[in-house]
């Protein structure tokens, strides 16, 4: 079974530029998550989708971050414009459902450096 796929793996941009990350979850998984992992910290949830609807985006900086999950499969996370503090690893995860005991499966992450 293929795992969660993410691209690109690395991205370097200058502040005020825009960037987009792509995620393809495990086939059949209804729930998709985007986490931000700043160096030295644990991952923090940015947004959660159930199929193509948003379940939780309370910690998404909506003035600059946006995400979509068209057709309830793959997803794109965008930052526009980027700030220095957005430098982090962006992790995508998926699970079959959003139930409390479901395991979340993580992709390899996209490492973003904003200069």
Partner 1 sequence: GNSVTQMEGPVTLSEEAFLTINCTYTATGYPSLFWYVQYPGEGLQLLLKATKADDKGSNKGFEATYRKETTSFHLEKGSVQVSDSAVYFCALLPPSNTGKLIFGQGTTLQVKP
Q: Using CA atoms in the order 95, 55, 107, 59, what is the torsion angle rounded to 10 degrees? A: -140
Closer to partner 1 by CB, 49 or 79: give it: 49
Q: Which stretch binds partner 1 (CB under 8 A): 11-19, 31-39, 66-74, 78-86?
A: 31-39
Residue 110: name the closest of 1, 37, 17 by CA: 37
For the bound state, the minimum distance from the C-beta of residue 31 to partner 1, rounded and expressed in Å, comes to 6
Reading the block at residue 7, the tokens are 């691209």
Q: Is 108 in the site for partner 1 (CB under 8 A)?
A: yes
| CB burial of residue 18 (10 Å; 0-12, 13-18, 19+) | exposed
Closer to partner 1 by CB, 72 or 81: give it: 72
Instruction: Give, as ranges, the residues between 40 and 99 that touch partner 1 (CB under 8 A).
Output: 40-45, 48, 55-56, 91, 93, 95, 97-99
């Amino acid at each position: 079974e293929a795992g969660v796929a993410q691209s690109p793996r690395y991205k370097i941009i200058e502040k005020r530029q825009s960037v987009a990350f792509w995620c393809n979850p495990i086939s059949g998984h209804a729930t998709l998550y985007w986490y931000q992992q700043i160096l030295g910290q644990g991952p923090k949830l940015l947004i959660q989708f159930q199929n193509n609807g948003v379940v939780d985006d309370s910690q998404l900086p909506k003035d600059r971050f946006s995400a979509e999950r068209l057709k309830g499969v793959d997803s794109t996370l965008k930052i526009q414009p980027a700030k220095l503090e957005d430098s982090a690893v962006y992790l995508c995860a998926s699970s079959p459902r959003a139930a409390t005991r479901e395991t979340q499966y993580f992709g390899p992450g996209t490492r973003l450096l904003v200069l």
